[in-house]
A and B are shown apart, each in its own frame.
Chain A
Amino acid sequence: MRNTRHRRWTASIVAAAALGLTLTACTGDIAEEDAGDVDCSDYETYGTFDGAEVTVAGTILDLEADNLNKSWADFESCTGISVEYQGSSEFEAQIAVLAEGGNAPDVGIVPQPGLLGRLAAGGWLIPASEPVEANVDEFWSEDWKQYGTYEDTFYAAPLMASIKGYVWYSPAEFEEKGYEIPKTLDELTELSETIAAEGDHKPWCVGLESGEATGWPGTDWVEDYMLRLNGPDAYDQWVTHEIPFNDPQVAAAFDAVGGYLKNEDMVNGGIGDVSTQVTEAFQTAGLPIVDGECSLHHQASFYETFWNPDGGDEVTVASDGDVFGFLLPPASADDPLSVTGGGEFPVAFRDAEEVEAFRAYLSSDTWANNRVSLGGVISANKGVDPQNASSELLTQSIEILQDPETTFRFDGSDLMPGAVGTDSFWKGIVAWVGGEDTAQVLDTIEASWPSS
């Protein structure tokens, strides 16, 4: 009896020890990396801190999160500030709840100016310090600074950027069949009709499915057409509700998009009929281009990484490669270049020197070049050398963003109140593609616009 009990004890201790060892093996001790040969001269302006910690949260995950951590590793070892990043796909839904409960991280990387405004209105945000504002005045356009501002108080500098409104195509197919890259929206229509008339396949492939966010790729279409057909002023009035959502100008943009998305001759190349747009995941919707079953796909610059779903570089993204993108053209050839896009804003919830030092670093050209060099993303920071970008398309995107002639407008649905921008606009697109007429859909969205 005594002996058995003794053995049981031994067994559990051995099991616990084994478990402990196994868990230890999983952790990998990343923090042990040596910081020996870092040139700290770029980081002297931020000062040094002993044992300070800054917690950061955002929507950025996986590989992108690793790159983010790498981009400030030198900053950490030079200043002594330890930065803890935690990514979550539920960040946008939870950040306001966390802030209200006093549990917000020190810095939140907010991907929507609308959400930034809501957090600022709640009184939870710390305005940006002078070094941050100085960096923004130096490196960003006035448009971008405005998106980090709420009621005349400047809260956060922009971080990274993406350009929406690329039309992806196969350069090889264009060359073989003699298609030209369209210079106006009318030429785009003609090109689409030519491809459709050849009868080989439908010209456009579209995927709107994205879980509960289903419909958002359609809002990008409408925003692009709204900006190009009606100009930046009408666009601003539209997102701030100075003109109603069912305004004739908005209806015109919807109908122009409807010429493709609601047209059985135009969609859905390589996938099926019009109704399949809603069930096709946006991640895979462009891939029929590679198989020659579709010619055109409208999606943001980030789609570059989606062409090789299994990794690797089998499909080359280049102007002489398998696929490449051209910007959705302006309404008439002599219109200035206007693009829609997105970006993030690191807002602060804690008033501390180390937090502001970190935010000042994020708004600097040093950080932007560091991050862009790691690949896959771009920034609208004017201090970025476009050649640092990891691909031809991204280099081209940075040049577009840095060009003072470019009219840049933020993704409209990110600027509208959540009830519209992340709910009724998405649902409206789904119902509209599903057969509801434009007027009915616009009235429904207009009615959902919150009164206060």
Chain B
Amino acid sequence: MTTADLLGKILQVVMGLAVFAAIVGLLIFFIDKAPKKGRDYWQLVGFLAPALILVTVGLIYPAIRTSILAFQTSSGAWTFDNFIWAFTQPAAIRTLINTVIWVLLVPTFATAVGLAYAVFIDRSRGERFYKAVLFMPIAISFVGASVIWKFVYEYRSGDREQIGLLNAIVVAFGGEPVQWLQTDPINTILLIVVMIWVQTGFAMVVLSAAIKGIATEQLEAAQLDGTNGWQRFTNVIVPGIRGSLVVVLTTISIATLKVFDIVRTMTAGNFNTSIVANEMYTQAFRASEIGRGSALALILFVMVLPIVIYNVNVLRKQREIR
């Protein structure tokens, strides 16, 4: 790259930003000057249009096209083969089963551990410190976390020095080292551990804030009634934070359905660990089977949909109660 190239590129960026600012400025200017009659209407259109256009181009159009591609062969003929493949091939079925295992285990454990942690550290000394410790994995990218955990699960043959933490512990207690990431089905569980490790901090922070929102009077009243800690937890705290619990569970479920980086980085989907999001990418972009990839995308969409609907419903009901 030469200086001239670089200056040219910088100039392009500056020009782009200037054009953008000019368009937005003009838009706002004209909306402001819109005729009094129906000004609300014009303002509505003016402010919504940019977002609507972007959503149409970036989300709605690709979604429709993916749905069409899922029902086509690579030469464009209509077919159900892509779905037949997804539900009959042993490898593809295994992918679907793994995804279900992920979506059952990750939200449950991440939320449970996060909730327990939030309750135990609530109003303790050093609460902030404990929170920061558990929250830190969230700041690490999935790929970074996967690389870290790959070292934890690293394997060396029996007579060599183990560099993986897990095998080092096993060997220290007199066991034989295990190829953790190659051993089915323990490898899927070990990948799930990574996801739980990342997501627990999120659950803890949200739930901790919700617990603080419970009125002290309620807790004191319960205490006066002679409840023990567990009864207060199940009868006062949990009902009090039900909305937050649902949000945390559904958010983590959706994140889990979409997770792709962990599997791709740690096993690349080998040894029966693949999940739908990873297989979708592999089929569409590596195997260049666009139809199969699109079919998996559609299946993933159908799996996410009920969770989203449930989430929206619960939130709406809560608003009505208030």
Contact = CB atoms under 8 A, between A and B. Distances in A.
Given A31-B2, A214-B268, A444-B91, A276 B155 contact: yes
Contacts of B77: 452
A contact patch SS = helix
A448 B6 CA distance: 47
Given A430-B270, A434-B271, A118 B6 contact: no
A32 interface: yes
B160 interface: yes
Contacts of A452: 73-75, 77
A212 interface: yes
**What is the size category of the interface that chain B forms with chain A?**
35 or more
Interface string B253-296: 00000000000100011110000000000110111110010000
A23 B6 contact: yes
Contacts, number: 91
Interface string B114-158: 000000000000000000000000000000000000000001111
Given A27-B5, A419-B287, A430-B271, A273 B157 contact: yes
Contacts of B1: 27-28, 30
A275 B5 contact: no
Contact of A212 (B179, B268, B283): B268
Interface string A112-123: 000000100000
Interface string A404-427: 000000000000011110111001
Contacts of A212: 264, 268-269, 282, 286
A63 interface: no
Given A23-B6, A24-B6, A450-B74, A418 B288 contact: yes
B90 interface: yes
A142 interface: no
Contacts of A93: 285-286
B182 A24 contact: no
A419 B2 contact: no
A318 interface: no
B271 A279 contact: no
Contact of A272 (B10, B160, B282): B160
B contact patch SS = loop
Interface in A1-47: 23-24, 26-32
A43 B155 CA distance: 56
Contacts of A431: 270-271
Interface in A263-291: 271-273, 275-276, 278-279
Interface in A332-389: none
Contacts of A89: none
Contacts of A450: 74, 289
Contacts of A427: 91, 269-270
Contacts of B283: 419, 423
B234 interface: no
A25 to B, nearest CB: 9
A118 B285 CA distance: 13
B228 interface: no
B239 to A, nearest CB: 46
What 3 A-B pairs come out closest when comparing CB atoms? A272-B157, A418-B288, A423-B287
24 contacts: A24-B3, A27-B2, A29-B3, A93-B286, A272-B156, A275-B182, A276-B156, A278-B270, A279-B181, A418-B286, A418-B288, A419-B283, A419-B292, A420-B287, A423-B287, A424-B287, A427-B270, A444-B90, A444-B91, A447-B89, A450-B74, A450-B289, A452-B73, A452-B74
Interface of A: 23-24, 26-32, 93, 96, 118, 211-212, 214-215, 271-273, 275-276, 278-279, 417-420, 422-424, 427, 430-431, 434, 444, 447-448, 450-452
Given A96-B288, A278-B270, A431-B271, 4 more contacts: A23-B10, A27-B3, A93-B286, A214-B270
